[in-house]
Amino acid sequence: MDGDRMEIDGGIMEGVSTSGGLASSSAEGPVVKNLSCLLGLPVRVQRIRAGRSQPGLRPQHLSGLEMIRDLCEGKLEGGEIGSTEITFTPGKIKGGTHIADTKTAGSVCLLMQVAMPCVLFAATPSELHLKGGTNAEMAPQIDYTVMVFKPIVEKFNITFNCDIKKRGYYPQGGGEVVVQLSPVKELSPINLTDRGTVTKIYGRAFVAGALPIKLAKDMSAAAVRCIRKEIRDLYVNIQPVREPDDRACGTGSGIIVVAETSTGCLLAGSSLGKRGKNSDKVGIEAAEILLKNLKHGGTVDDSLQDQLIIFMALAKGVSRVKTGPITLHTQTAIHFAEKLTKAKFTVTKSEEEDPSKDTYIIECQGMGMINPNL
**pLDDT tens figures, 53-63:** 888 998 888 98
Read off the pLDDT of residues 129-146 as tens digits, 9 standing for 90 and up: 999 999 998 889 999 999
What is the pLDDT, as a whole number, of residue 25?
34
What is the pLDDT, as a whole number, of residue 274?
95
Cβ–Cβ under 8 Å, residues 31 and 23: yes
The C-alpha atoms of residue 373 and residue 288 are separated, in whole angstroms, by 46
Q: Is 305 annotated as a binding residue?
A: no
What is the pLDDT, as a whole number, of residue 293?
97
The C-alpha atoms of residue 272 and residue 279 are separated, in whole angstroms, by 9
Q: Which fold has domain 6-192+300-367?
A: UDP-n-acetylglucosamine1-carboxyvinyl-transferase; Chain (3.65.10)
Read off the pLDDT of residues 215-249 as tens digits, 9 standing for 90 and up: 999 999 999 999 999 999 999 999 999 999 999 99
Q: Which positions are annotated as active-site residues?
A: 329
What residue ranges of the chain have pLDDT lower than 70?
1-3, 13-29
The C-alpha atoms of residue 359 and residue 7 are separated, in whole angstroms, by 34
Q: Is domain 198-294 in CATH 3.30.450.20, yes or no?
A: no
The C-alpha atoms of residue 270 and residue 273 are separated, in whole angstroms, by 10
What is the pLDDT, as a whole number, of residue 24?
37
Whole-prediction pTM: 0.94
Least Cα distance to 315 among 8, 38, 36, 25 occurs for: 38
Domain locations along the chain? 6-192+300-367, 198-294
